[in-house]
Amino acid sequence: MPDSVSTSDSDNELPQVSNLSQSSVESVKAELVRMNQSAAQEISADEVELHLSAAAELKVDKVDAHESALALMNAREVSMQTSAAAVVRADTVNVVNGAVGAAVAGTANLGNTYAGVVAGREVRGERIEALVLFGNRVEGEVHTVMDARSALIAGLLGGLFGGVLFLLVRGLFRRD
């Protein structure tokens, strides 16, 4: 069973540094968390450094991930190299050679990145491949599966199909 790591005597005071190597923990709370070949369910910290590690939920100020897998991340600044994340919400997101399911950021700098949905005030990058990208200002080479026109058509067709299906099911299972 995973452990909970907190080396402080009181719950109000966070430990300064937690170093994890080849371990699995339930939760980590510290000012600085360093993980190497480790896994954590929940991390609350000012700064997190991950190498060959995995984390399910991060509530941090700054994240630096190398060759790591992350699920839900809420941070001020995120830097990822050769890493993957399911959902990222941050002021600044920097991803190089990685993958992101959904990223919501003020500024997103993506290089050689695959993404599902990217939303940001500013999106910059080299070779971004995304399903959907929303941005006030976009710079760089971006390849999207859906542009505005195809998203509109997909939405109309999905709504039409859903409405017809609803009417068919309602008509078939109607009680008199």
Distance CA 49, CA 18 (A): 10
CA 30 remoteness from chain centre: 21
Token pair of 171 as six digits: 């008509």
**DSSP output for the chain:** --EEE---SSTTS--SEEEEES-EEEEEEEEEEEEES-EEEEEEEEEEEEES-EEEEEEEEEEEEES-EEEEEEEEEEEEES-EEEEEEEEEEEEES-EEEEEEEEEEEEEEEEEEEEEEEEEEEEEEEEEEEEEEEEEEEEEES--HHHHHHHHHHHHHHHHHHHHHHHHHT---
* pTM of the full structure: 0.76
pLDDT, tens digit only, all 176 positions of the chain: 455 554 444 455 767 999 999 999 999 999 999 999 999 999 999 999 999 999 999 999 999 999 999 999 999 999 999 999 999 999 999 999 999 999 999 999 999 999 999 999 999 988 889 988 888 999 988 888 777 778 788 889 999 999 998 888 888 887 66
Token pair of 9 as six digits: 């005597």
Distance CA 71, CA 146 (A): 24
Token pair of 50 as six digits: 């991950």
